[in-house]
Amino acid sequence: MELDFSYENMFSYEKRIGQSFKTRTGKASAIMGDMPSSQVRIAHMKKKEGEAMSAVAASTANLTRRNFLKASIAVAGGTWLGTAIGCSSGDSLSGEGSSSQAEEQVFNGVCKPNCFHGCQLKVHVREGKVVKTSAAPYPNPEFNRICLRGLSHVTNIYDPDRVQYPLKRVGERGANEWERISWEDAIAEIAEKFTSYREEFGDQAVMKCAVSGNYGSINGGFTSKFFSSINASTMAPSLDLSNAIGLNRVVGWAGTWMGNDPRDLKNAKNIFIWGNNITDAQIHEWHFVADAIEAGSNVIVVDPIFTHMAAKAQKFVPIRPGADAALILSMMQVVIEEDLIDREFMQKYTVAPFLVRDDTGMFLRMSDVGVQPAEGPVNLLTGEPTKIDPAVVWDGVAGASASSAECAAPEIEGEFTVEGVACHTAYSLLKAEASQYPPDVAEGITEVPAATIVELAHLAADGPVTHRVGWGPQAYDNGVHPHHAGAALAAITGQMCEPGKIYGCADINGFTGFDATLSAPATPVTSPTISNLIMPEVMETGTYMGEDIVIKALWVYQGNPLCTFVDSNAKKKMFDKFEFIVTVDSMLTDTARYSDMVLPCAQFFEYEDIVGSGNNNHVVHCDKAIDPPFEAKPDTEIMRMLAEKMGMADLFPESDSEWLQKYVDTEAAAALGISYDALKEKKAIRWAPDPLVRWTDKKFLTPSGRMEFYVEAPTPMDYYGQQIDVNREHLPRFFPPTEAWPENPLHEKYPFVLLSERPRFRVHGQWFNNRILRELDPEPTVKINPADAAAKGIKTGDHVECYNDRGHAVAMAVLNEAVRPGTLVYPKSWQVHQHLAGGWSELSSSSHDPVAVNQSYMDELCDIRAWEGAE
Ligand code: SF4
Residue closest via CA to ligand 1's atom 8 equals 119
Q: Is 789 helix (H, G, I), strand (E, B) or coil?
A: helix
pLDDT of residue 383: 81
Q: Which helix or strand (DSSP H or E) is residue 158 part of?
A: none
Q: Sheet containing 597-600: which strands, arranged edge to edge? A: 178-180, 167-169, 597-600, 580-585, 553-557, 206-210, 233-236, 529-531
pLDDT of residue 11: 33
**Dist CA 662 CA 666 (whole Å):** 7
Percent of the chain with pLDDT over 70: 88
Judge whether residue 424 has pLDDT over 50.
yes
- Ligand 1 mean position, distance from CA 147 (Å): 5
> What would the pLDDT profile of 586-624 be if each residue is shown by its tens digit?
999 999 999 999 999 999 899 999 998 788 899 999 999
Give me the DSSP letters along 8-73: HHHHHHHHHHHHHHHHHHSS------BPPPHHHHHHHHHHHHHHHHHHHHHHHTT--HHHHHHHHH
115 lines ligand 1 (CB under 6 A): yes
> Are 328 and 489 within 8 A, CB to CB?
yes
pLDDT of residue 642: 98
pLDDT of residue 765: 84
- Ligand 1 mean position, distance from CA 355 (Å): 47
Task: Write down the mean pLDDT value for the chain.
Answer: 88
* pLDDT band at 213; cut points 50, 70, 90: confident
Q: Which residues pair with 417 in a beta bridge?
A: 422
Judge whether residue 752 has pLDDT over 60.
yes
**Dist CA 142 CA 117 (whole Å):** 12
* pLDDT band at 869; cut points 50, 70, 90: confident
284 lines ligand 1 (CB under 6 A): yes
Probe residue for ligand 1, chosen from 117, 758, 760, 763 as the CB with the greatest number of ligand atoms within 8 Å: 117
> Are 616 and 146 within 8 A, CB to CB?
no
Give residues with Cβ within 8 angstroms of 419, minimum separation 6.
368, 369, 370, 401
147 lines ligand 1 (CB under 6 A): yes
pLDDT of residue 733: 98
Mean pLDDT of 519-523: 87
Per-residue b or e along 149-164, where b marks 16 or more CB atoms closer than 10 Å to that residue's CB: bbbbbbbbbbbbbbbb
Residue closest via CA to ligand 1's atom 2 equals 115
> Are 393 and 402 within 8 A, CB to CB?
yes
Higher pLDDT: 160 or 317? It is 317
CB atoms under 10 Å from CB of 38, counted, come to: 13
Judge whether residue 288 has pLDDT over 70.
yes
**Dist CA 67 CA 423 (whole Å):** 79
**Dist CA 760 CA 740 (whole Å):** 25
148 lines ligand 1 (CB under 6 A): no
Judge whether residue 87 has pLDDT over 80.
no
**Dist CA 117 CA 285 (whole Å):** 8
pLDDT of residue 33: 38
- Ligand 1 mean position, distance from CA 257 (Å): 18
> What would the pLDDT profile of 678-700 be if each residue is shown by its tens digit?
999 999 999 998 889 999 999 99
pLDDT of residue 102: 80
Q: Is 422 helix (H, G, I), strand (E, B) or coil?
A: strand
pLDDT of residue 97: 53
Judge whether residue 357 has pLDDT over 70.
yes
> What would the pLDDT profile of 397-421 be if each residue is shown by its tens digit?
999 999 999 999 999 999 999 999 9
* pLDDT band at 787; cut points 50, 70, 90: very high
pLDDT of residue 511: 87
121 lines ligand 1 (CB under 6 A): no
759 lines ligand 1 (CB under 6 A): no
pLDDT of residue 48: 44
Residue closest via CA to ligand 1's atom 4 equals 147
Burial class of residue 342, CB neighbours in 10 A (0-12, 13-18, 19+): buried
Judge whether residue 281 has pLDDT over 80.
yes
Nearest to 773 by CA among 45, 190, 35: 45
Outline where DSSP puts E strands in 351-506.
355-357, 374-378, 385-388, 392-395, 400-403, 415-418, 421-425, 465-469, 502-504
Give residues with Cβ within 8 angstroms of 798, minimum separation 6.
812, 813, 866, 867
pLDDT of residue 386: 85
Pairing of strands 781-784, 823-827: antiparallel
Q: Is 454 helix (H, G, I), strand (E, B) or coil?
A: helix
- Which is it for the CA torsion 210, 212, 213, 216, positive or negative? positive
Q: Which ligand 1 atom lies nearest to the CA of residue 284?
A: 3
> Are 798 and 784 within 8 A, CB to CB?
no
- Ligand 1 mean position, distance from CA 368 (Å): 54
**Dist CA 795 CA 787 (whole Å):** 11
Percent of the chain with pLDDT over 90: 78
pLDDT of residue 722: 94
**Dist CA 176 CA 172 (whole Å):** 8
Dihedral angle at the C-alpha atoms of 62, 66, 71, 75, nearest 10 degrees? Answer: 140
pLDDT of residue 98: 57
**Dist CA 785 CA 822 (whole Å):** 8
Greatest CA span in the chain, whole angstroms?
92
Judge whether residue 436 has pLDDT over 80.
yes
Higher pLDDT: 189 or 6? It is 189
Judge whether residue 95 has pLDDT over 80.
no
Angle made by CA atoms 151, 154, 157, in degrees to the nearest 5: 140
pLDDT of residue 509: 80
**Dist CA 284 CA 506 (whole Å):** 11
> Are 728 and 710 within 8 A, CB to CB?
no
Nearest to 365 by CA among 398, 387, 343: 387
- Ligand 1 mean position, distance from CA 146 (Å): 6
Give residues with Cβ within 8 angstroms of 103, minimum separation 6.
126
Q: Which ligand 1 atom lies nearest to the CA of residue 121?
A: 5
Least confident of 236-240, 507-511, 685-689, 822-826: 507-511
Query: CA separation (Å) from 226 to 520, 553, 647?
Result: 9, 15, 12
Judge whether residue 31 has pLDDT over 70.
no
> What would the pLDDT profile of 558-591 be if each residue is shown by its tens digit?
999 999 999 999 999 999 999 999 999 999 999 9
Judge whether residue 91 has pLDDT over 90.
no
Would you say how long the chain is, in residues? 871
**Dist CA 135 CA 148 (whole Å):** 11
111 lines ligand 1 (CB under 6 A): yes
